[in-house]
């Protein structure tokens, strides 16, 4: 096969909805000559039954039909299905073109129409549909590359942590799920998903002797560790990207505490950005349930107890309440990504850092 020629397109499926048999016959003769597969329905209810059982690329529907009319059908298709809609009517004076398009239709055809006109209208809608699909594929590929770059960048900062790769994946998933449970806007949720794994990128500037120390940090070591928040913020500053702007915000604020006793700025309550308050819970949960140089992984009940104790202190109480309400879902994410076994832990003891509760 000559690689310069594109592969033959997949069969296009078109559903024609009209209560007039003559129109259905005309469109069958017209559209099937183009190589498309056509199906037919005499009203909106029958059309919906067909759409629910088999996907269509384009639905060509009359407006004036008994029962469900074409306007209602177009609204339903627009809200729940991927097909494009071309609307037909012989009562052109009753409808405005922009009104029909605003309801979700891709085109508007006045009866009577010529077969050639309908072919041209369908081809135009199919071309636009294909361009959208290409654009969406390119967008998805770019997003995948973007996420991969973020993960590689963060792993470069934290590569000494044996669990880092899984940790940054989990943080994104925790934050996404928690933001969904908080009913936050979709755009915010998506941005948080991509930005949150960069929360600790500033650790690239912290000496290994501090990052990997198994015991309690000295006062000077702890003050040095705290600088990773501002280092990360500087690394992520001055970007035009919404994702990097939120990552900057998170890097700077995810160690702030709701009671105002966090760092680096001592922000209190809702002065801490929503992104920082969400990541604070997700990051603490993951740290508690993971093995670190200074601790073993904590079992679920101990982790839950520590989180509850910090309600209104370290964590925003309303956000924490939602996290606790869906705690099993976050445990499921934790168990699915990386090693985590919640067994009896008969010999379990808190780490020195967690007993003092004053170090990251």
Dihedral sign for Cα 101, 104, 105, 110, please: negative
267, 268, 270, 275: CA torsion to nearest 10: 50
Dihedral sign for Cα 98, 100, 102, 107, please: negative
**Using CA atoms, how far apart are residues 119 and 127, in angstroms rounded to an integer?**
12
**Using CA atoms, how far apart are residues 261 and 312, in angstroms rounded to an integer?**
12
Q: Which residue has the tokens 């997949």?
A: 10
Reply yes or no: is the peptide bond before residue 240 cis, omega within 30 of 0. no
Length of the chain: 360
**Using CA atoms, how far apart are residues 142 and 160, in angstroms rounded to an integer?**
28
Per-residue pLDDT of the chain (360 residues; tens, 9 = 90+): 333 333 334 688 999 999 999 988 888 888 878 888 899 999 999 999 999 998 899 999 998 888 888 888 998 998 889 899 998 887 655 566 666 677 778 888 888 888 888 898 899 899 888 888 887 777 777 777 766 776 666 766 655 554 556 888 899 999 999 999 999 999 999 999 989 999 998 988 888 888 888 888 999 999 999 999 999 999 888 888 888 899 999 999 999 999 999 999 999 999 999 999 999 999 999 999 988 877 888 999 999 999 999 999 999 999 999 999 999 999 999 988 876 665 545 455 666 666 555 555
Contact 242, 194 (CB under 8 A): no
**Using CA atoms, how far apart are residues 20 and 225, in angstroms rounded to an integer?**
76
Domains of the chain in start order, with CATH, are: 13-133 (3.40.50.2300), 159-356 (1.10.3210.10)
């Amino acid at each position: 096969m000559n690689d310069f020629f594109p592969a033959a397109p997949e069969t296009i499926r078109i559903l024609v909805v009209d209560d007039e048999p003559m129109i259905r016959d005309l469109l069958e003769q017209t559209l099937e000559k183009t190589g498309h597969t056509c199906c037919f329905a005499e009203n909106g209810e029958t059309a919906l039954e067909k759409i629910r059982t088999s996907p269509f690329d384009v639905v060509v529907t009359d407006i004036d039909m008994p029962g469900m009319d074409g306007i209602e059908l177009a609204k339903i298709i627009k809200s729940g299905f991927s097909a494009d809609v071309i609307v037909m009517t012989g009562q052109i004076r009753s409808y405005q073109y922009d009104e029909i398009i605003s309801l979700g239709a891709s085109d508007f055809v006045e009866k009577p129409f010529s077969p050639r006109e309908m072919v041209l209208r369908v081809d135009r809608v199919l071309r636009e549909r294909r361009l959208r699909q290409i654009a969406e594929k390119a967008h998805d590929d770019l997003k995948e590359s973007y996420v991969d770059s973020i993960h590689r960048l963060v792993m470069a900062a934290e590569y000494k942590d044996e669990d880092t790769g899984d940790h940054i994946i989990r943080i994104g998933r925790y934050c996404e799920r928690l933001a969904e449970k908080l009913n936050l806007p979709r755009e915010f949720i998506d941005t948080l998903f991509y930005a949150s794994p960069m929360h600790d990128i500033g650790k690239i500037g912290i000496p290994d002797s501090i990052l990997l120390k198994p015991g309690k940090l000295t006062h000077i070591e702890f003050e040095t560790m705290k600088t990773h928040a501002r280092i990360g913020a500087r690394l992520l500053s001055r970007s035009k990207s919404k994702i990097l702007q939120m990552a900057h915000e998170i890097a700077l604020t995810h160690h702030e505490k709701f009671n105002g006793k966090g760092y680096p700025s001592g922000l209190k309550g809702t002065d801490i950005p929503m992104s920082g308050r969400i990541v604070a819970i997700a990051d603490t949960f993951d740290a508690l349930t993971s093995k670190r140089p200074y601790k073993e992984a904590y079992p679920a009940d101990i982790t839950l107890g520590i989180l509850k104790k910090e309600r209104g202190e370290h964590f925003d109480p309303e956000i924490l309440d939602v996290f606790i309400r869906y705690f099993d879902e976050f445990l499921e994410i934790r168990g699915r990504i990386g090693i985590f076994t919640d067994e009896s832990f008969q010999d379990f003891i808190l780490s020195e850092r967690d007993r003092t509760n004053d170090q990251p």
